[in-house]
Amino acid sequence: MKKKIDTIIIGAGIAGLGVAAILSREAHQKVLVIDRFPKSGGRMMSYDGYPAKGWRIEIGLHMIELGEKSSCDALNRRVGKTVSWGPFSDTVDIWNGEKFVSVADLVPMSREDKVAFRNLVQKIATLKDHEIEAWDNRSLEEWLAEHVEQPPVRELFTDLGMIMTTIPRAIDMAAGEVLYIARDNLLKTQQVLQASFPLDGMEGVTRGLAEVVRDAGGEIRLNCDVQEVVIKDGRAIGVRIPTGRHPYEEEYRIPETETIHADRVVCALPIYQLQKLLDFNSDTSPLPRWWRKRITDIQHEVTGLIGFMLGLSEPVVDPAKKCFFSALKTRHAGFPFQGFPASNFTDHVAPPGKQLLHTDIVVEHEEASDKFKRERLLALLWEDLKDMFPGIEGKMEWRLPYYVDGCDGLARQPGLVGNFKPGLKAPGIPNLYFAGDTYLGRGLAINSAALSGMNCADLILAELKKNK
């Protein structure tokens, strides 16, 4: 880019592309988005043609809460783009150890219990923001103990909370985040939890954002591993990137670099990647000690996924069934399970008559980051899948194992949600910003990242207006 760059955004996930698209469209800024991967999309990249024409797979298991009424859809509409959505999931089926049953049937409830649950739902729908925020540092178990008398109602809402947070125990769930997600769904869909899937897969959610950036004259530079955010005299002045190829393997490589200058820098990558770009050394860092300590203390408080993308020669789930599958704890692997047949929501991801099944177990950083633990858990998950979906082994056309360490932002635990998350601006560095699902923002996974991207862009726009 030979013209002046206004803003450099590091990370081409939905948050980074969202910031770039808004600044391009609403402030006519020249932006440069840089990502180390050969594809944009962040933790939800789409891949066509694996293992043959007609298949489309993603990184990770994604259904998007609220679909056309979601924050990621609002982000696209804001910049003039449209996402095509499949239908909402009809049900959530939970594995009870022997078979999948509707979440409503998992917990036996009397007539009085059902009335109490309806009253609870009505109460949640009327909660004010400050009432929810007051519970960001306390557990769902505590909230239920104070507000719900009937044990079956507490159990059912805990099951719903597990689906929202991927945390199995109510004592470990942040009540504020569960209440926010539930209220958002109730106000928009009149259901406690609704999810959909984009017809074009995850690429359909970010493609339009990238088009806006390029149409405005911006650049999305892929396969470029930023080495450092350059900070001088208390301001971010740009980024250092490699100048060319290096003959050494990555673990031995120290590349020659050049600096690309810009008026501001946005780090749209998770907090657990920040130490690769920002100086955290106590003797030399321009960032305050308290902030660096907070980041290092919580950087591994994330959820991991270990699973399989499965291409099936014929369905193991009725193609007409629009369903999300879950389990509080599988028999073999011993972790929460989630899965859904993506091809039941759209015919763009699998050849006719075949089925694409997304599956995984939800683990901690300790398991997701350890190669040997991952492989042992994969083998156990396969035994669970054979139990859950009889006949799956004989219908398997291909199987693709994967893992994600940090699948949907910070773990939704007390003290790690809402205003307890790191802010969108670096303390002491007035033109260094952050965006993504590990920073200030609400909602499930991609929606948290999209909302964070919009909030970050609005913060920059407000400061641009102020400085005119």
Count structural domains, the chain: 3
Are 295 and 356 in the same domain? no
Residue 391's CB is within 10 A of a number of other CB atoms, namely: 11
What is the length of the chain? 468
pLDDT tens, residue by residue, 205-225 = 999 999 999 999 999 999 999
Q: Which of 325, 63, 317 is nearest to 198 (CA)?
A: 63
Question: What is the C-alpha separation between 418 and 439, in angstroms, rounded?
Answer: 9
pLDDT tens, residue by residue, 446-455 = 999 999 999 9
Last residue of a domain, one of 165, 193, 221: 193
pLDDT tens, residue by residue, 232-284 = 999 999 999 999 888 999 889 999 999 999 999 999 999 999 999 999 999 99
Are 293 and 418 in the same domain? yes
Q: Residue 1's pLDDT is what?
A: 43
The CATH number of the domain holding residue 364 is: 3.90.660.50
Are 174 and 224 in the same domain? no
Report yes or no: 184 and 64 within 8 Å, Cβ to Cβ: no
Last residue of a domain, one of 172, 193, 214: 193
Are 28 and 53 in the same domain? yes
Q: Does 76 fall in a domain?
A: no
Average pLDDT taken over every residue of the chain: 94
Q: Does 289 fall in a domain?
A: yes
Task: Provide Rg for the chain, Cα atoms.
Answer: 22
Question: What is the C-alpha separation between 181 and 443, in angstroms, rounded?
Answer: 6
pLDDT tens, residue by residue, 162-196 = 889 988 899 999 999 999 999 999 999 999 999 99
Interstrand relation of 396-410 and 219-221 (parallel, antiparallel or unpaired):
unpaired
Are 289 and 420 in the same domain? yes
- Locate 130 and state its tokens: 């400050």
Mean pLDDT of 34-42: 95
Are 290 and 347 in the same domain? no
Label residue 372 exposed, middle or buried (CB < 10 Å: 0-12, 13-18, 19+): exposed
Residue listed under structure tokens 């860092």 = 285
pLDDT tens, residue by residue, 309-361 = 999 999 999 999 999 999 989 999 999 999 999 999 999 999 999 999 999 99
Per the structure, the complete domain to which residue 326 belongs is given by 302-410
Burial pattern 193-210, b for ≥16 Cβ within 10 A else e, equals bbbbbbebbbbbbbbbbb
pLDDT tens, residue by residue, 56-89 = 999 888 899 999 999 999 999 999 999 999 999 9
Last residue of a domain, one of 162, 193, 224: 193
41 pLDDT band (50/70/90 cuts)?
Answer: very high
Stated pTM of the model: 0.95
Residue listed under structure tokens 């209220």 = 183
DSSP-assigned beta bridge partners for residue 341: 357
Q: Does 243 fall in a domain?
A: yes
Residue 362, pLDDT > 70, answer yes
In the chain, % of residues over pLDDT 70: 99
Are 180 and 113 in the same domain? yes
